[in-house]
Amino acid sequence: MTKKVLVLPGDGIGPEIVGQATRVLDALIENHGLDVTYESALVGGSSFDAHETPLTDEVLAQAKEADAILLGAVGGPKWEQYDISVRPEKALLKLRSELELFGNLRPAILYKQLADASSLKPELVADLDVLIVRELTGGIYFGQPRGIRTLENGERQGFNTYVYSESEVERIAHVAFKAAMLRDKRVCSVDKANVLEATELWREVMDRVSKEYPEVELTHMYVDNAAMQLVRAPKQFDVMVTGNMFGDILSDCAAMLTGSIGMLPSASLDANGKGMYEPIHGSAPDIAGQNKANPLATILSVSMMLRHSFGEGAMADKIDQAVSTVLDQGYRTGDIHTEGDKLVSTVEMGDAVLKALA
């Protein structure tokens, strides 16, 4: 059956980068037999400007109905004057929680063509390929109770609650072990079990689920050590699985080891393989509307979508290969450009990928 994709360009550079990604989708539909249709809708700042809300009920309903979602980016100074509850970024949180997209996959891959971009020595990061699996709808970001209260002595106190139920840990564990089965079969679970009881249970559940994946090696690491190891010797990791807050921090850290924010895609999956796919970067207001943004992270998000939601691994490989080819050919947008490369625009990068695909 024809799969339905909802495309949500967002604001800032979102429409520009998504425009190139949908050209890739079009090419696969027209020339390679991909059985997908898509429609676009407003989200984030573009939705706020039109409807005074970053996510309308109609678009949320469309998102629920779609088989997968491709998102650009949202947010920017233009909307910072408004209450946090209606800011563009709120749309992302709402989509994640309403669609129960609890499994966040964040690959950190260093492309050999971009080896100079990393802040680490080349030998530490050459061929780096780590997958961070972050739990996305639980933990301290969602735990109740939360807030700011006034104590009897009049002092104010801010508080949040770190909670994970067994079922929440189980389902993210399965995502991590399944991903590891397709890779180097090693999972490192990151917690703070020496201090936080909630993560003691996390560790216990990880051990239990790991018995269902005898081929996968499971290790445990405290989050402070994991942060240190990521910058000391990142290639020791294959898959890292962790909770919402630790994953937020570690995944940004891992991404930066590759030095290229414009190159990294992500997936947020529910229990049935439906997912929202988006680049890890934001809306880059400083370069929006200038045809300068790197569209490759968004194009690689299409690849992740084909792989994880549609079981089209071969077609995903084609996209990955095309991206590698354009890097080999020396095409670079500003964010990954060094002297001697061909500096290209967003659209020219899209042109190059389409040519490599053909």
What residue ranges bind Mg ion (CB under 5 A)?
248, 252
The verdict on whether residue 83 carries a ligand-binding annotation is yes
Distance CA 141, CA 160 (A): 8
> Which partner in ligand NAI, Mg ion, none is near 323 (CB below 5 to 8 A by kind)?
none
Q: Based on CB atoms, which residue is closest to ligand NAI, 244 or 294? A: 294
Residue 282 engages ligand NAI in binding (rule: CB under 6 A): yes
**Among 75, 107, 234, 243, interactor with ligand NAI by CB under 6 A:** 75
CB nearer to Mg ion: give 21 or 280: 280
Pick from 47, 104, 294, 309: which binds ligand NAI (CB under 6 A)?
Answer: 294
Q: Which of residues 253-272 bind ligand NAI (CB under 6 A)?
A: 261-262
Give the side-chain half-sphere CA count within 13 A for 28: 24
- B/e letters for 304-333, b = 16+ CB within 10 Å, e = fewer, are bbbbbbbebeebbebbeebbeebbeeebbb
- The beta-carbon contacts of 329-337 under 8 Å, at least 24 apart in sequence, are 329/356, 333/262, 333/292, 333/293, 333/294, 333/295, 333/296, 334/287, 334/292, 334/294, 335/260, 335/261, 335/262, 335/293, 335/294, 336/114, 336/117, 336/260, 336/262, 336/263, 336/294
**Partner interacting with residue 198 (select from ligand NAI, Mg ion, none; CB below 5-8 Å by kind):** none
Task: For the CB of residue 327, give the shortest distance to ligand NAI in the complex, in Å.
Answer: 14
Query: Does residue 45 belong to the site contacting ligand NAI (CB under 6 A)?
Result: no
11 is catalytic: no
Decide if 351 is catalytic.
no
Q: Which is nearer to ligand NAI, 184 or 270 (CB)?
A: 270
Binding to ligand NAI (CB under 6 A): which residues in 190-249?
none
Annotated binding-site residue? 85: yes
Contact between 128 and ligand NAI by CB under 6 A: the answer reads no
| Residue 267 in marked binding region | no
Consult the annotation and say whether 186 binds a ligand: no
Binder of ligand NAI out of 89, 191, 248, 312 (CB under 6 A): 89
Residue 129 bears catalytic tag: no
Determine phi and psi for 272, rounding to 5 degrees.
-110, 10
Residue 290 assigned ligand-binding role: yes
Beta strand pairing call for 265-269 and 103-109: antiparallel
From 38, 141, 162, 222, the catalytic residue:
141
Residue 335 binds to ligand NAI (criterion: CB under 6 A): yes
Per-residue mark of binding to ligand NAI, 171-190 (x: CB under 6 A): --------------------
- Report the nearest approach of ligand NAI to the CB of residue 76 (Å): 5
Taking alpha carbons only, the member of 102, 228, 232, 116 closest to residue 168 is 102
C-beta closer to ligand NAI: residue 246 or 277: 277
Known catalytic membership, residue 57:
no
**Of 35, 127, 224, 317, catalytic:** 224
Task: Round to whole Å and give the CA distance between 181 and 215.
Answer: 8
Cα–Cα distance for residue pair 43/4, rounded to 1 Å: 18
Of 76 and 107, the one with the shorter C-beta distance to ligand NAI is 76
Q: Is 134 annotated as a binding residue?
A: yes
Contact 152, 136 (CB under 8 A): no
C-beta of 252 vs 348, nearer to Mg ion: 252
Q: Is 252 a catalytic residue?
A: yes
Q: Which residues are catalytic?
A: 141, 192, 224, 248, 252
Instruction: Kindly list the residues in this chain that would bind ligand NAI in the complex (CB under 6 A).
Output: 13, 17, 73-76, 89, 92, 261-262, 278, 281-287, 293-294, 297, 333, 335
Binding-site residue ranges: 76-89, 96, 106, 134, 224, 248, 252, 282-294
